[in-house]
Amino acid sequence: MNGDVPVATRSRYDVPMQTDLKDKVVLITGASGGIGQATARAFAEEDSTLALHYNTNAQAAENLCNEIGGNAIALRADLTKEADVDAMYDRIVQKSGRIDAIVVNAGTWTTGHTPVHEMSLKQWREIIDADLTSAFLTCRGFLRHLQDQPRDSASIVLVGSTAGIYGEEGDADYAAAKSGMIYGLMLSLKNELVRLAPRGRVNSVCPGWVDTPSTESARMKPGMIDRATATMALKKIATAEDCANAIVFLSSDRLAGHLTGVILPVSGGMEGRLIHPPTHTLT
Ligand SMILES: NC(=O)c1ccc[n+]([C@@H]2O[C@H](COP(=O)([O-])OP(=O)(O)OC[C@H]3O[C@@H](n4cnc5c(N)ncnc54)[C@H](OP(=O)(O)O)[C@@H]3O)[C@@H](O)[C@H]2O)c1
């Protein structure tokens, strides 16, 4: 016997998966939002030391920090601003000494459906800034930290979107920002990162629709779920935990040590967009 479980009946799968993320210092941007909070809880289960970024929702970040406890800290930054990003990294290094992994999760989109011919340059610039420039600044800050503190391994996980893979009608600004992030930025970073950390890896997680507060009003529109899940084998909306588990997996050198430059869709086997819904059913 070992504890209450007879050895003969205990499966080897009773042993928790080892990620080796214990005591790794991990920065999660957008930790005040739905996917960011679930990701923070998943890393906390691995006993990582967390730097939890927020922009406007201090209350959510502070509550999460208190819930997680340990050495977690909450940090405010507008990630479109160089000075804010630099100050955020300085504070983490002051507090924790080093940063081992980052999750570039902060991002936003407009709630209206705006075709390109109606889109203002202002909207385009704001979304590119919030989703792509913020990712550039966050990654640049981490690379500069690695330059200051050279080491063997490091991990970056970018949170993209299926919008960046398939495009998204009415959200070309957001789709273009996410494509830029998961293709041009990630694939270039992949080869630059190893100059600073020879085992450094950068990967992307691309959710489709996720059950988070920020998508609730869109998901409530009639027919929306049917349309969004029409090309998905699993025909369901992801949970934030589905995304968090994929992020933890890719951040782990032990589990994903030979994966870099990978785009991992967390989208239930989505094959693309339903552009012209059928008007009648074939028999
Ligand atoms: N939910 C989905 O269906 C879905 C699907 C595909 C991809 N994604 C991607 O997943 C990521 C997280 O989405 P979510 O659903 O968790 O969204 P969310 O709940 O709206 O959270 C967004 C997070 O990003 C932060 N943020 C936004 N703009 C920022 C800026 N300029 N500077 C700093 N922080 C900023 C927000 O901070 P504050 O709230 O503190 O201001 C918040 O923490 C995003 O990159 C999103 O594009 C989501």
Q: For 42-68, write each residue's pLDDT tens digit.
A: 999 999 999 999 999 999 999 999 999
Residues 6+ apart with CB under 8 A from 165: 179, 182, 206, 263, 265
What pLDDT, on the 0 to 100 scale, is given for residue 61?
A: 98
CA of 174 relative to ligand 1 center, distance in Å: 12
What pLDDT, on the 0 to 100 scale, is given for residue 154?
A: 98
Ligand 1 contact via 19 beta carbon (within 6 Å): no
What pLDDT, on the 0 to 100 scale, is given for residue 220?
A: 86
What pLDDT, on the 0 to 100 scale, is given for residue 13?
A: 58
CA of 6 relative to ligand 1 center, distance in Å: 46
pLDDT tens sequence across 166-210: 999 999 999 999 999 999 999 999 999 999 999 999 999 999 999
Ligand 1 contact via 210 beta carbon (within 6 Å): yes
pLDDT tens sequence across 250-269: 999 999 999 999 999 999 99
Ligand 1 contact via 239 beta carbon (within 6 Å): no
Say if residue 126's pLDDT is above 70. yes
Residue 87 confidence class, pLDDT cut points 50, 70, 90: very high
Say whether 13 is catalytic. Answer: no
Say if residue 21's pLDDT is above 50. yes
- Atom 17 of ligand 1 has which residue's CA nearest to it? 33
What pLDDT, on the 0 to 100 scale, is given for residue 7?
A: 45
What pLDDT, on the 0 to 100 scale, is given for residue 217?
A: 85
Residue 221 confidence class, pLDDT cut points 50, 70, 90: confident
What pLDDT, on the 0 to 100 scale, is given for residue 52?
A: 98
Ligand 1 contact via 158 beta carbon (within 6 Å): no
What pLDDT, on the 0 to 100 scale, is given for residue 144?
A: 98
What pLDDT, on the 0 to 100 scale, is given for residue 2?
A: 41
Global pTM reads 0.94
Residue-averaged pLDDT of the chain: 93
- Of the residues 54, 89, 166, 174, which is catalytic? 174
CA of 101 relative to ligand 1 center, distance in Å: 19
- Atom 23 of ligand 1 has which residue's CA nearest to it? 30
Which residue ranges form the domains of the chain, and what is each CATH number? 21-264 (3.40.50.720)
